[in-house]
Structures are given as structure tokens and as C-alpha cells.
Structure 1
Amino acid sequence: MTSEPADPLPAAPSVRARPAELPSATVVPAPVRVTIASIGLELPVRAVGVAADGQMELPANPSVVGWYRFGPAPGDREGSVVLGGHLDSREYGVGPLVGLRKLRPGAVIEVAAANGSKVRYRVEGVRDVDKQRLAVGELFARTGPRLLQLVTCGGPYDANGGGYRDNLVVTASEQ
């Protein structure tokens, strides 16, 4: 049995090529400091991610605020910048975020970035939200208005229930 040679493949059509023009990515510097002059608060900010329990990771020291690095940064075109920190701890005692309860609508929050730029926010509201009812999708919004969500513990402390019942949430809009 002999096999006959296969027909040659047709010639490939010619294609004009040109360099790809990718859109340039906007890089916004990470926040490094948050200041609320009306209550005498000035704290360093560190980038954080997700803790083993699936919640936002927080710095152990209540005198340091965490920025959720997987969401918007101050100066991004849209979405909520989320900063959070502990109200207190056994190791460090009561932290400066206890002063957030004194904030009133209209107060100014300034967030400084690694490149020296600053973004100003004006407080819209301060509220306690039951941790079980916290609207995570709303708090960590990647689209929509440019907001700052500053979060710590709030409400009564329940030693048998594992800590504070609520989150204190400060919502502020970019100026």
C-alpha cells in the first residue's frame, strides 16, 4: 500500500501588524497618614488585605489605621476608600479612634499619600451598624461616588459574645 503525498497547505493571507496601543494604567499612590484636625487625630496608615477569617485585616496597634489595598485609593476616580482600625486592644489599651464618635457632619478628614499629595473628605455621617447587618458590598464599593469609609468597633462590648457588637462607620465624601 502506497500513500500519496498530501496536498500542500494554502498560503497564509498577509496581515498588516502594528504595535498595540494599550491604555495607560492610572497609578494612585497609597495613603500613609490620616488627619482629623477637629478631634486632634493624626495616625499612620498601612496597606492591609484580608485576614484568615475573611474579614479586613487590621493592624494590631490601635494607633495605626489599615487601608484596604484591594479597593480604591484616595484620588481614584470612583468608589469607597476603606480605612479601618481597632478601637482598643489588651496589649495597647484604648486607641485614638475612640475620638471618632465626636465627629459631626461637615468635619474635614485629610488623607496624605506616599507622594505627598493630600485628598480632603467632608464627613456626611457617623453611625453604629450591627456587625451582622453591615452592608459589605456598599462599604467596599469599587464604583460610584468617591467616598471615605472609616471603620472601627462600636456599640456595647460583649465579653461573652466575642467583642463589640457594632461597627462605628464614618462616611465622608471627597471634596
Structure 2
Amino acid sequence: RVKSNRGIEFRRWANRVLKEYLLKGYSVNRRLTELEHTVAEHSRKIDFFVRTSLPPVEGIFYDGQIFDAYKFATDLIRSAKKSILLIDNYVDESVLLMLSKRNAGVDADIYTQAVSHQLQLDLQKHNSQYPPISIHTYKKCHDRFLIIDGADVWHIGASLKDLGKKMFAFSKLSIPAEAVTGLL
């Protein structure tokens, strides 16, 4: 312990500064600020994961992104709670397989340009094992549409059977489903 005048002055100054520091709560405020920063960072991370768990409303899949495009389409199919309506002029057994991934109790209808004999056989075999899919002929549509629960209209730039084989775009349209289904 220093008993000189300078030592005593220093102790008084240090005690005054420490007392002021504690009374004003600098230490507590710093810790609270750090906690607030940590909570904000965690909140941003949680928001990111919530946003990324929802399908994007538009995008492009490039040549070779076959699995990514397939996963995107099957996730849309699995999101249906009541019904799926697909308008696609080029349907084969791979589309039936994708639609078999839908939830129980979800109706599925396909509108296509022509129902070949092979597709009819594939459909019979599919319907004997899985919940049935109805196929209808419709020749007045060039684009592909996937309508989920009679509400969400997705425009898909490639046939479901060819997703990812070539570059294509997709988008969720902000139109009522009746704008498309009313023409069927």
C-alpha cells in the first residue's frame, strides 16, 4: 500500500471512477448490449431458415439441375392439402411417379394433349396401387401449369418429365386459379 500523497490521490481517483462506472451501469449495459446483439443475430439466422424453407416464387433451373428441379416439383406436390391440377402436354410414367408423392386425400388431375396407349396402361397400373389420378385431354394450352389446392398457380417452363434437362424458368402467378381452370 502506498501512503504518499500521489498514491492517495490515485486511490481516490480510481475509487471515484470505479464508483461512477458501477453506478452508471457501464458493465451491465455492455453485457446487455452484447446479449441484444446475440439475440438479433440468432433472429436473423432463424428468419433465414424460415424463408428458405418456403419455395421461391420464381427462379431458373439450369441445364443439368435435374435433381434440384425434381425436388422443387415434388415439394410443390407435397405442399398440396386438397388438390393438384397439372396441365402438361408431355406426360409419362415419371409424372405419375411424382404425383404419387402427394399427401393422402389429395386429388390429382392431369390435362394433356394426347393420352397414348402406353400412358393409359401406365395410369391403370398406377391407379391399381396408388390413389387414383384422372387424366383428361386438352389441346388448347402450350405452357405448363401446376395448380395447388385450387389457389396457387405455378407456371413451369418445362414439362415435369423433363425438368432440369434444359434450362427453364418457373414462377408463381398472382392470378386466381379460375383464370386457368375456367378454360378447361
| Bin of the TM-score, shorter chain as denominator length | under 0.3
What TM-score do you get using the length of structure 1 for normalisation? 0.28
Task: Choose between structure 1 and 2: higher helix proportion.
Answer: 2
Task: Choose between structure 1 and 2: higher strand proportion.
Answer: 1
Larger radius of gyration, structure 1 or 2? 2
Per chain length, whose mean CA-contact separation is higher, i.e. which structure has more relative contact order (CA < 8 Å, sep 6+)? Answer: 2
What TM-score do you get using the length of structure 2 for normalisation? 0.27
